[in-house]
Amino acid sequence: MFVYTLLIVLAIIAAVISSSDTITSQNKRLALIVCMGFAALLAACRDMIGGYDVYMYSRYFEEVLSLSAIGNGEIQNIYGYEPLYLFFNMIIKTFTDDKYVLFFVLAILSYGLLYRNVRRHEYAGLVLILMLAKFTLPSYAYLRQFLSLCILWAGLVLLEQEKPYRYLLVVIIASLFHYTAAIAAIAVFFRKKAMPIGIVIAIFTGSFILGQIGGTKILGALIGETTGSEKLTMYSLIEEESTHLLHLIECVTVGIFLCIQYKRVSALTPPLYLNLLILYIATTLFTLKDPGMQRIHWFFFIGYAVSVSHFIKLVIRKEKFIIVSLILLYSTALFYKELIVRDGGSYVPYKAFFIEGEHSNKWSELD
């Protein structure tokens, strides 16, 4: 638990420094690098932390052939995952059979790409703590999807530079690591100006209603049948659960504040990220009752993080402390909630692969 608490402390320090008007940009960048570097090393050095998925990725890597083996005429008879993820495994396998090297490289690459986006924002430390609170623990388990997300987030600069075709190429590349990245193509249509408030309210209302009447099941079945994805088809058959109250509270709170202050927020926030916030709230409302589909909103969370960080511009300097404190409180609560909910993945206690002894958990028998 100590290392996770240390990570949050470093993130809080980076966030506070980032929101200060008196600290130099060099010191802000240093705090950001230290926090992001520590987060990356925690992910890179973990010892089979993350649950069932990690062991499946380990087994997959063991069965993948190296490029040199294929060059010698052996036939690759394992596929299972998207083609670029398979190729990535083949490259690593060419140099080593050690699964920890694979996990290390994936983590450093993913967090490096995440840093490329986060560092560019005015309140980078606030963006960082929100992103780490949401994705630190999932990044240990969902290797393909987290890498694809980080590729997409790093590629958003292309939309800011009005290079939509290059961005779509990035979407294709990310989709070849994890198919859910394809949803990010929609950002091309929301890059130039903020949506009118009437459309925003209609999107929120429609998304909530469609989600409550089972729209996710229809969509999942349709996409699963069209693409041949057995996983999506399986998700569409899972029985719906009760509404996810924490996500509902999050969406209602931020959504109402956004609608009330929409004119001011839209004037202070880059339109691309404001629209991604709107789409994050909409996709979250749409998937409130469907845990199998909830990960489709992950890409849009960068819009949430960036837009919420700009909320501090809405208040006078003396009141900025209140907004920053609320963001820090929310991020800390979210992180520890994720730690408790996800500990089926044996996140606690943390163990690095270079520390002697086995990381014993209920999934160890799969190794």
Provide DSSP, 96-136: ---HHHHHHHHHHHHHHHHHHHHTTSTTHHHHHHHHHHHHH
- Residue entry with tokens 């694809």: 148
The Cβ of residue 105 has, within 10 Å, a number of other Cβ atoms equal to 16
**Contact between 69 and 89 (Cβ < 8 Å):** no
**Contact between 35 and 63 (Cβ < 8 Å):** no
Which amino acid appears at position 177 of this protein? F
Instruction: Collapse the DSSP code of 194 into the 3-class scheme (helix H, G, I; strand E, B; otherwise coil) and give the result.
Output: coil
pLDDT digit string, tens, across residues 8-25: 999 999 999 999 888 999
pTM: 0.91
pLDDT of residue 172: 97
Average pLDDT over every residue of 348-362: 75
> Poorest-confidence range of 101-110, 113-122, 290-299?
290-299
Average pLDDT over every residue of 113-127: 95
Would you state the structure tokens that stand for residue 236, as one six-digit string?
A: 């569409």
For 272, how many CA atoms within 13 A lie in the half-sphere containing its CB?
A: 20
Q: How far apart are CA 45 and CA 350, in angstroms?
A: 10
- Residue 324 reports pLDDT greater than 70: yes
Q: How far apart are CA 191 and CA 168, in angstroms?
A: 13
> Poorest-confidence range of 92-101, 238-247, 330-339?
238-247
Torsion sign across C-alpha atoms 176, 181, 183, 187: negative
Average pLDDT value over all residues in the chain: 87
pLDDT of residue 296: 86
Where is pLDDT greater, at 275 or 214? 275
Of 367, 355, 344, nearest to 138 by C-alpha is 344
- Residue 28 reports pLDDT greater than 80: yes
pLDDT of residue 81: 84
pLDDT digit string, tens, across residues 179-215: 989 999 999 999 889 999 999 999 999 999 888 887 7
Q: How far apart are CA 283 and CA 289, in angstroms?
A: 12
**Contact between 153 and 114 (Cβ < 8 Å):** yes
Per-domain boundaries in the chain: 2-366
- Residue 226 reports pLDDT greater than 60: no
Of 218, 213, 254, 252, nearest to 237 by C-alpha is 218
Burial class of 281 by CB neighbour count within 10 A (0 to 12, 13 to 18, 19+): buried
- Residue 73 reports pLDDT greater than 70: no
**Contact between 72 and 65 (Cβ < 8 Å):** no
